[in-house]
Amino acid sequence: MSALFESTADTLAYIAQVAWRRRFLAFIPLLLLPPLAVVTAMVAPKRYEARMTMLVQEPSKLNPILKDISINPN
């Protein structure tokens, strides 16, 4: 590409011209994707999922710092 242009300024000017000519190609996704996302969110089934992991330790192995906030099984 550097062989086609005499300087870096020429190359940057060419890139700017091409970007300006094709500026509408950048706006097409900006106009089409948000409505498509809204329609997809409304049509998609409502599905919720929750997961939880609990750590249960023996009292003898319990950290002394956590002793005040722990629950005794007895």
Query: Which tens digits make up the pLDDT trace of 7-63?
Result: 888 899 999 999 999 988 888 999 999 999 999 999 999 888 999 998 876 666 566
pLDDT of residue 5: 72
Which residue range forms the structural domain that includes residue 30?
1-46
In-domain check, residue 62:
no
pLDDT of residue 39: 96
pLDDT of residue 41: 93
Q: How many domains does the chain have?
A: 1
pLDDT of residue 57: 63
Split at pLDDT 50, 70, 90, the class of 3 is: low
Separation of first and last alpha carbons in the chain:
78
In-domain check, residue 14:
yes
Q: String of b and e for 8-45 (b: at least 16 CB within 10 Å)?
A: eeeeeeeeeeeeeeeeeeeeeeeeeeeeeeeeeeeeee
